[in-house]
Amino acid sequence: MKTRYVFLLVASAAATAAALLPSRGNGQDQSTLRAASRPAASAGTPSGGMLGILRHGNWECALPGDAGGNAFEPVAAEAFRIGTASSYESPAGNGIYLLRGTEVVFTRGPKKDQRFKVLGENTLQKLAADGSLSKMICTRVSSGN
């Protein structure tokens, strides 16, 4: 191989390495700078993950019961029906939701700012205002046909 080709290969490898390595000039690496420049997620917006949709149909919500009675206590006011175009219907009215990663947030309508964690294809668990899991579980009970 000719000397000038070897020199060009070495120079391009050095330039590539310098571009990929974190900068050390100001004490911060590029990933820290990029993270600091991104806007912070608001409390009601899921922070990351792929966008998706919930399965269409009727969803019922319930709280756990006790050993001496019913296994669960349905909460009819929290029930909803998922429709097309990320929409939902509840006893109080209609709205829109956003599913991002494993978190659902209702962005419009009577359930606005309610957040849920996706536990499975047909199961959601409500999140408290501080982001902790609450006891309420919502389950898809029919396709809505």
The string of pLDDT tens digits covering residues 19-62 is: 565 554 454 555 554 555 554 544 555 567 899 999 999 999 99
Gap between the Cα atoms of 76 and 61, Å rounded? 7
Burial of 72 (0-12, 13-18, 19+ CB in 10 A): middle
Per residue in 96-139, pLDDT (tens digit) is 999 999 999 999 999 999 999 999 999 999 999 999 999 999 99
Same-domain pairing of 94 and 58:
yes
pLDDT of residue 36: 52
pLDDT of amino acid 25 = 47
Find residue 138's DSSP bridge partners.
61, 124
Q: What pTM was computed for the model? A: 0.66
In terms of residue numbers, what domain contains 100?
Answer: 51-142
Nearest to 46 by CA among 121, 127, 137: 127
Residues in the chain: 145
Least confident interval from 30-34, 54-58, 81-85, 90-94: 30-34
The answer on 55 and 33 residing in a single domain is no
Shared-domain flag, residues 33 and 83: no
Give the integer Cα–Cα distance in Å for 9 and 101.
42
Same structural domain, 56 and 82: yes
Which residues are bridge partners to 63 per DSSP? 73
